[in-house]
Amino acid sequence: MRVQRKIIHIDMDCFFAAVEMRDNPQLRDKPIAVGGQASGRGVIATCNYAARAFGVRSAMPTHRAQQLCPELVLVPHRMPVYKAVSQQIHAIFRHYTELVEPLSLDEAFLDVTGKSHCQGSATLMAEAIRAEIFEATGLTASAGIAPNKFLAKVASDENKPNGQMVIPPERTAEFAARLSLKKIPGVGPKTAERLARRGLLKGEDVLGLSEAELEVMLGKFGPVLWRRCRGIDERPVEPSRIRKSIGVETTLARDLPDLAACEAQLDALLPELERRLAAAQRGIKGQTVKLKFADFELTTVSQQSQQLDPKLFLALMGIAFRRGGGRRVRLVGISVELAEGKTLRQLPLPL
């Protein structure tokens, strides 16, 4: 008989901003955001709930955030501090289980199946973990408890901040059916819009479609969505996640006007990509160029490649730029998809 998994997803509440409010109590009652200055094309990394009430959110350009909230207090990053706090938090996770899959500094999946803590109750373990985090750091966390990773992650967002939600095994299908498709990881704005045009808004709307129909509509994500809408997710918690890609990118102080200006950015980006690839000691199986246009629309172009080829980046850059129809470019990025095994020889081709 198969053992029912018990998965906890822990997500810190507005982590960077919470650390800043903890260390500077004068900020606690003010709308604050951690991020770059508007003058430098900065982007909001995270913000507190007072700022979110004005519509400020993560990944928003700083100048837009300040328009929405003129009283916004902008705080620069203190990454060494955030990493130190994160280490405290992840040490607490490991008191309960060795099966911890970090997703970022401030969130992780924990598989507590068969663990004896708290009489084996995942719900009580989540409560205890959140209490220990608060005692050790003064910060609050939210939790989702479910039989799989997908539902646990969704549940952790339901009672934020400083709350938790349990989805028992017998309610997984019901919960997934009622879930807005926009809340399913992988369903971005464009995918949600495409689904909405077909009258598909909730999980239950998808139940009448086959995996094949969804694959035609959404590609390889179609079968994934088919399973998610039934509350199905067989992915295990993976303590050692294998890195799948390496990339570098830059947001420009001024928009780039043409393809030549975009191509010139490769001179700055390629050496850093080569350094990171050498450190990873892995081969590659594909190259990708990413451009973000002045209106914030993003496009990526990829092609399989077993050797790092600068000329391929130039070709992909041209395709990506032409997609913009002449729009100016605010961000340029290049990346490689990593292959298993040792690093491969790089082509010594100049730009």
**Positions at the binding site for Mg(2+):** 11, 106
Provide the residue count of the chain: 351
User: Per the annotation, where are the binding residues?
Assistant: 11, 106
Element (H, E) at 7: strand 7-12
Examine the residue annotation and report whether 234 is marked as an active-site residue of this protein: no
CB 150, CB 185: distance < 8 Å: yes
Q: Which residues contact 105 (CB under 8 A, 6 or more apart)?
A: 15, 82, 83, 86
CB 145, CB 155: distance < 8 Å: yes
The burial class, CB within 10 Å (0-12 / 13-18 / 19+), for 95 is exposed
- Which tokens in the block code for residue 349? 């081709």
Of 20, 101, 107, 132, catalytic:
107
CB 8, CB 117: distance < 8 Å: no
Tokens 């004068």 belong to 26
Tokens 């995270």 belong to 46
CB 142, CB 8: distance < 8 Å: no
End-to-end CA distance of the chain: 59
- 74: helix, strand or coil: strand
CB 50, CB 69: distance < 8 Å: no
Q: How far apart, in whole angstroms, are the C-alpha atoms of residue 98 and residue 203?
A: 33
- Which tokens in the block code for residue 252? 């420009």
Known catalytic residues? 107
